Chains A and B, each alone.
Chain A
């Protein structure tokens, strides 16, 4: 149970409960604002009935031709609001906006290959691995990690051209993205 609404710029003052979580990165303000300035409808927050921030999703629309798609840049839920289907609701919302407003062919996202919990969740939501990006995550100190680029086709992609089978074996370098 939650109330979905657009993320407001001043929500940045209220998101600590979500962002103090170790896996949720806090970016500089212009990162959030640049998303809000261009894709205000792809950045949504969920609030509990008592008004606490439970989680948020931020995304963008990009690509040319048949690559035109919605992209999930970040999705996060505070620990006490996990396992109640919030991520599911937020992904559906982003997919719906990518489809109906942006008329995209698919939605995609990147996830660490080690993050099996998240990968399993996205598969449940209908995403499949499209390719594996070598060393996509690098924090400078040899902590390189590959990413799965996962995709879910939208109704516009009638022939499901945006996905492939066995995408795990489809290796690409980050510079070729």
Chain B
């Protein structure tokens, strides 16, 4: 009965086709039609389940699939349909079960057993994998299955406590040794597996022996095997062999390979510093030999058409080591000379700045100044061909970056700094003439001048606190974006600058223009969604948060399939990486942070009516709001904080750090915003005083931890936490009174007062006197935080009030209920105050033209760059200011509307 032949294949095919074409309605109709005739046909039920799942009806789909599952089907099409449903719903253990059953019935079906194994792989059941692989190997004898089993042991070891992992690895090694003896290792990937087993046990010599033996010869062309081999030579102090290997690679294949230089130099310097411990022949090692080798490489690359940087940078590394570590030896050339020589050769390459950083790090300021002078001297001003002119631009850019990196600009005062920016801007404008033939997607040659301008202006802002510098940095970067439309290095700092002055929409636009998607949603979205609540654009922020989610869904669906692929192709060297990737995304800190931000936003949006907010809390799944230590320890921070350009000295914060509008979100923040909604849910739905008590205690612990800790939680968030603590306490008291413990009535007043005071304390200071040009992110953060605080308090008190009224009509607690009502009124007054503040702010705006003039006038009243005075830039500047002005106005009016709508709908 449970075979596919029950149903004519011809009749089923249209269902598959409809599913493939995403025409689910017709597919469902066809299923139902056929099911009428053959109500027991499992394939039809399974396919209907699949269609229902695709239509989003997961419950119905699961129900159907479970019916099919109970019949223990063995037909591949049925199993596959079930697999697709279960996979999509993340029920990997169900897939394991159906194939387990099917294989039991059909132990000789190799394909079914393979599916069973893969089901285990998807389910991350490493032990199950191992067992099934061994069964497969026993029944069907393929070597591949043996290696699957060994790989599964490695994965088990990786995920077991340290005390147990040794046993798995020993077993894996024994199985591997046996396989080697029986001549079963044929592929490079199998050798990789062997190495993985040995290296996991730190058996370096054994691993090296494998590579030096017959197996190693089989894969001598594999780049990765060679990399592992050279690494092992170093780990086992095989200096002479390592030198040979490095030398061979540099002379025969690639004189630009940094790995090989590292191996060569490290081994060489080892031999040099401890000659006694080494093999014979070490006495012949001397520095000149290494130098001669590098010189010969330099000579050969100079003769070739494109000059590689490798041998020159290696010389720097060698001589620097000599200066620092070998007291008895003298460098062949002074480091400073080598640095200048390097600049002479490669100063026009962008990466020259990065290349020389390690060698300029601890240099004395006087030498630094001299070096810069010498760099400048390498520029040939007299050249007149375009290529040389472009090279000069690049050299100049690098020189300015070095000046910044070497801290040579600190002596400038405000006016001098502005003059410096003017100079950089002139250099940028001058560079534009050479870029007219560049493709649209390419950046202008002098773009980095503008970045440097913005960095100086940001320094000024940080030093003097005048927002005029933020505006100016925005102007220059925006002007440069016009010329290099796709330069992300402009866009990242621009996002931050706009955020500093409380702008949300332009950063979002810039972010979108970078076409950030897939895995980048995990690494880059923090630029937009971190504390997006504070922007005041609640709907837009919510959308921005939702937009980051697809990557996590892809990871659930795609990555397990890819681990399966890696097993199928026996690519053992990649399996651990894929498993790691899956975990990194599953346990992404950013994902958890976005989830919490969404909950904040969703509560606020739902708070427009009491009914809606109660429903929201009813549906809120607290298991999604984990914050325990186990959960937090596993979280992985994949956020990208390094892609924003930075030329600051090593001992100073990076530009990314400097331009953050608020502290970096961390696990403490995550805990805070996990517990707050949990407490609110508990008060609203479960009404369990013990749970609230426990949560409140944990919340208090976080607040004290923060006072001692890194201060990554903002003051306003602390105040919010404090209000929730008091609200929770008040709830507990009310519950206790309700339970007849009359002595708590006395407590009520003091706790209620504490709550009122806590709310009062979080009230933002009067901002009505603020100047238009001084509007900042922090202002909106204060206003929205207070909005959030009052909102939680109001709905919380509302619930308390209901609790008392409903159950205690005659209990003589009317006085308490009255007090609660008074508290509601107090909170409503806070809202009124907030609204008044917003209205005052709204009155700052006259009409766009006038407002922009006012801001521009302010900027010009402060030290400012020439760009602001230039006639032709005025319309451009005003356009930017106009947009800023509109965004501010919209934001303020939007928040007024939010407050109004909250009260309108509740009064209805």
Contacts and interface: CB of A to CB of B under 8 A. Distances in A.
A137 interface: no
A21 B258 contact: no
B185 to A, nearest CB: 17
B774 interface: no
Interface string B825-868: 00000000000000000000000000000000000000000000
Contacts of A113: none
B571 A36 contact: yes
B523 A1 contact: no
A29 B519 contact: yes
B17 interface: no
A1 B259 CA distance: 10
Contact of B554 (A22, A28, A48, A88): A28
B415 interface: no
B441 A3 contact: no
A84 B574 contact: no
Given A1-B310, A5-B224, A13-B638, A33 B256 contact: no
Interface residues of A, number: 54
A138 to B, nearest CB: 18
Lowest 3 A-B CB distances belong to which pairs?
A22-B486, A33-B562, A80-B350
A23 B485 CA distance: 12
Given A3-B259, A5-B224, A84-B351, A30 B559 contact: yes
Contacts of A84: 308-309, 346, 349, 351
A49 B565 CA distance: 33
Contact of B259 (A5, A80, A96): A5
B577 interface: yes
Contact of A2 (B258, B523, B573, B577): B258
Given A26-B515, A30-B559, A33-B562, A50 B357 contact: yes
B517 A49 contact: no
Interface stretch (A38-46, A65-73, A143-151, A159-167): A38-46
- Interface on chain B toward A: helix, strand, loop, or mixed SS? helix
A16 B520 CA distance: 7
A20 to B, nearest CB: 4
A60 to B, nearest CB: 12
B294 to A, nearest CB: 13
Contacts of B642: 17, 52
Nearest to A49: B258
B259 A33 contact: no
B57 interface: no
Nearest to A32: B519
Interface string B715-757: 0000000000000000000000000000000000000000000
A69 B571 CA distance: 20
Nearest to A18: B643
Contacts of B350: 79-82
Given A22-B441, A29-B559, A10 B577 contact: yes
A81 B355 CA distance: 11
Nearest to B524: A16
B554 A8 contact: no
22 contacts: A1-B261, A2-B256, A4-B257, A5-B224, A5-B227, A9-B580, A10-B584, A13-B584, A20-B520, A26-B516, A29-B581, A30-B558, A30-B561, A33-B578, A34-B562, A37-B578, A47-B258, A49-B358, A81-B351, A84-B309, A89-B254, A101-B222
A100 interface: yes
A9 B524 contact: no
A177 interface: no
A125 to B, nearest CB: 12
Contacts of A158: none
Contact of B562 (A21, A30, A117): A30
Nearest to A17: B643
A33 B224 contact: no
A48 B350 CA distance: 13
A28 B439 contact: no
Given A10-B580, A36-B574, A49-B358, 4 more contacts: A26-B517, A26-B520, A27-B518, A101-B188
A100 B226 CA distance: 14
A26 B520 CA distance: 8
A6 B574 CA distance: 10
B224 A9 contact: no
Nearest to B486: A22
Nearest to B254: A89
B869 interface: no
Contacts of B522: 13
B521 to A, nearest CB: 10
A48 B349 CA distance: 14
A47 B259 CA distance: 10
A17 B522 CA distance: 15
Contact of B581 (A12, A23, A27, A40): A12
B313 interface: yes
A91 interface: no
B313 A33 contact: no
Given A26-B519, A93-B223, A40 B574 contact: yes
B640 interface: yes
B346 to A, nearest CB: 8
B569 interface: yes
B566 interface: yes
B288 to A, nearest CB: 23
A50 B643 contact: no
Interface in B229-264: 254, 256-259, 261-262
Contacts of A64: none
Contacts of A19: 520
Given A26-B515, A28-B518, A1 B309 contact: yes
Interface string B541-577: 0000000000100110011011001101101011001
Nearest to A22: B486
B571 A49 contact: no
A142 B757 CA distance: 64
Given A29-B558, A89-B254, A13 B227 contact: no
B221 to A, nearest CB: 4
A3 B258 contact: yes
B591 to A, nearest CB: 13
A33 B559 contact: yes
A97 interface: yes
B306 A88 contact: yes
Contacts of A13: 519, 522-523, 584, 638, 640
Interface string B679-695: 00000000000000000
A27 B551 CA distance: 11
A140 interface: no
A33 B558 contact: yes
A40 B259 contact: no
B461 interface: no
B654 interface: no
B436 to A, nearest CB: 15
B558 A41 contact: no
Given A23-B441, A26-B520, A37-B566, A3 B581 contact: no
B120 to A, nearest CB: 18
A36 to B, nearest CB: 5
B514 interface: yes
Contact of B222 (A9, A20, A41): A41
B6 interface: no
Contacts of B293: none
Nearest to A117: B439
B66 interface: no
A126 interface: no
A84 B221 CA distance: 25
A85 B574 CA distance: 28
B400 to A, nearest CB: 15
Contacts of A16: 520, 523-524, 640, 643
B508 to A, nearest CB: 16
Contacts of A101: 188, 221-222
B354 interface: yes
Given A4-B259, A49-B258, A101-B221, A85 B562 contact: no
Contacts of B224: 5-6, 40-41
